[in-house]
């Protein structure tokens, strides 16, 4: 969802940095990148232990989620072509969201975007043992869909997301974001690399070798 359907990494960074600076924590130029793909349990502990936010992880997570919810309600940074791309694919396959975002944010984003009914399954990495680059969230999404992870298609933008999907044999379609690009090594794992969601069509998914999406 983040970086694929919504341009949210800068929003996450703003909310986390805001909390860190308000509470006397440390925020470096690579802090946001280091947290990309982490589950809420993982990044909230990181903010306590590494960033120095003097709160317990549950409080940190709730605080950041509240800031994000407020921002999304004011302006949802839906990426161009996101709604159309989801609707195109939903006509052919059952779809899932496998996201590092917290459950309340997944539900809110899909509601605001008018896409809730397009996804048969949604999974937050806070509902599985490990966040990306571990493949747990993708394995759970496939399990809930009733399909094999291997042979399914995954649409990803980030290093950790690409590695998580590829680890279980998914056919990965990468749509890199220029502000937080994946590493060249991670990008090389993708079956297809696209420039935008406008290029994401059922034909591209089939050409990537996916049997499900």
In this predicted model, what pLDDT tens digit does every residue of 78-120 receive, in sequence order?
Answer: 999 999 999 999 999 999 999 999 999 999 999 999 999 999 9
**Which of the four pLDDT bands, split at 50, 70 and 90, describes residue 150?**
very high
* Equal fold, 9-74 vs 82-207: no
DSSP letter at 180?
A: S
Structural domain boundaries of the chain? 9-74, 82-207
Residue 20: DSSP 8-state: H
CA–CA distances in Å: residue 70 to residues 22, 24, 66, 105, 162? 17, 23, 6, 11, 29
Task: State residue 85 phi and psi, 5-degree precision.
Answer: -65, -45
Instruction: Give the Cα separation of 98 and 132 in Å (integer).
Output: 10
Cα distance between residue 101 and residue 86, in whole Å: 18
Phi/psi class of residue 37: alpha, beta or left (left: φ > 0; alpha: ψ in -120 to 50)?
left
Residue listed under structure tokens 């969201």: 97
| pTM metric for this prediction | 0.91
CATH architecture assignment, domain 82-207: 3-Layer(aba) Sandwich (3.40)
Rounded CA separation 7/154 (Å): 18
SS3 call for 75: coil
Angstrom distance (rounded) from CA 105 to CA 2: 10
Query: What pLDDT does residue 37 have?
Result: 84
| DSSP states along 1-17 | -BTTTB--HHHHHHHHH
pLDDT average, residue stretch 8-13: 94
Instruction: Tally DSSP H helices, then E strands, for the chain.
Output: 10, 5
pLDDT band, residue 209 (cuts 50/70/90): confident
Q: What is the mean pLDDT of the chain?
A: 95
Architecture in CATH of 9-74: Orthogonal Bundle (1.10)
Segment 25-36 shows an average pLDDT of 93
């Amino acid at each position: 969802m983040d970086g694929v359907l919504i341009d949210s990494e800068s929003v996450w960074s703003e909310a986390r940095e805001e909390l860190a600076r308000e509470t006397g924590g440390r925020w470096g130029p690579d802090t946001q990148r280091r947290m990309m793909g982490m589950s809420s349990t993982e990044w909230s502990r990181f903010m306590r232990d590494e960033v120095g936010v003097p709160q317990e992880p549950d409080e940190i997570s709730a605080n950041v989620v509240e800031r994000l919810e407020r921002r999304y309600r004011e302006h949802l940074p839906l990426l161009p072509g996101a709604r159309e791309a989801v609707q195109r694919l939903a006509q052919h396959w059952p779809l899932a969201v496998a996201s590092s975002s917290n459950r309340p944010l997944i539900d809110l984003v899909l509601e605001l975007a008018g896409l809730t009914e397009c996804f048969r399954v949604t999974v937050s990495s806070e509902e599985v043992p490990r966040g990306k680059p571990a493949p747990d969230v993708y394995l759970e999404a496939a399990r809930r869909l009733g399909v094999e992870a291997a042979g399914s298609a995954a649409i990803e933008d980030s290093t950790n997301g690409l590695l998580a999907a590829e680890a279980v044999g998914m056919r990965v379609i990468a749509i890199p974001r220029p502000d937080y690009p994946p590493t060249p090594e991670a990008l090389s794992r993708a079956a297809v690399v696209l420039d935008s969601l406008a290029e994401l069509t059922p034909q591209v998914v089939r050409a990537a070798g996916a049997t499900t999406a």
